[in-house]
Amino acid sequence: MSKLYIVPTPIGNLEDMTFRAIRVLKEADLVLAEDTRTSSVLLKKYEISTHMEAHHKFNEHKTVESVRDRILAGMTVALVSDAGTPGISDPGFLLVRTCVEAGIEVETLPGPTAFVPALVNSGFPCDRFCFEGFLPVKKGRQTKLKTLAGEERTMVFYESPFRLAKTLGQFVEYFGAERPASVSREISKLHDTTHRGTLQELYEYFSKNEPKGEIVIIVKGGKVDDEAGAGQEEGETLQ
């Protein structure tokens, strides 16, 4: 039966691809890719010859109905993003919603998502957490930070390496200089690193050392007393 598959792909190390994901991509009639050039490297490695078409934030509003109609006509479609799970700070939500509303079966495979290893690796409580993704760059940013200042759960943020120091400085202002946090970059890649410390320490470090690559910031929730989040017990020291 035709359906839409949501297929997570490796966020760095291509060996993180699952056997099931490979099979689904091989058996699908069409692979929708955020960037066909990026995905072609992965498909070539695993000898996947399925036809690809582009599906990204700039064209998804124009293509979702066509994709829906092709699935209703009997086609099986697999959606992938450049890395990680589609729909998590990547295109995917609109297509999934459109297919669900049309009664199309949607099956999401489990797989790589950058914030999960960063969250667990932080050493902060991860039984309850809130995923904030990318904060608004301008409008609504201060309002959002004021709201999160009282959040008791561990908080997860994505950030550009070019804005990291500025964001950490704002976190110091709204969350407090002594709030424990961690910054993970290039998860599962060659230069995978995690820095732990207070927000002030992290701000000072990254103000002098501009990072590269994908960034995940984990901030310990406020007003929570536990043995975790005591700063730099593991990982790199901020020197």
Query: Could you read off the pLDDT of 54-108 as tens digits, one per residue?
Result: 999 888 888 999 999 999 999 999 999 999 999 998 889 999 999 999 999 999 9
Instruction: Output the CA angle 175-187-93, nearest 5 degrees.
Output: 75
| Cβ count within 10 A of residue 138 | 6
Contact 160, 215 (CB under 8 A): yes
For the chain, 239 residues long, give each residue's pLDDT as a single digit of tens.
799 999 999 999 999 999 999 999 999 999 999 999 999 999 999 999 999 999 998 888 889 999 999 999 999 999 999 999 999 988 899 999 999 999 999 999 999 999 999 999 999 999 999 999 999 988 899 999 999 999 999 999 999 999 999 999 999 999 999 999 999 999 999 889 999 999 999 999 999 999 988 899 999 999 755 444 434 444 454 53
Query: Do 165 and 207 touch, CB atoms closer than 8 A?
Result: yes
Q: List strand residue ranges (DSSP E) for 48-98, in order.
A: 52-54, 77-80
Global pTM?
Answer: 0.86
Instruction: Name the residue among 228, 8, 7, 238 with its Cα closest to residue 121.
Output: 228
Closest CA to 186 of 161, 167, 206, 166: 161
pLDDT, position 190: 86
CB 190 within 8 A of CB 156: no
Q: What are phi and psi of 132, to 5 degrees?
A: -105, -10
Are 4 and 107 in contact, with CB atoms under 8 Å apart? yes
The Cα–Cα gap between 31 and 238 comes to: 43
CA distance 184 to 213: 10
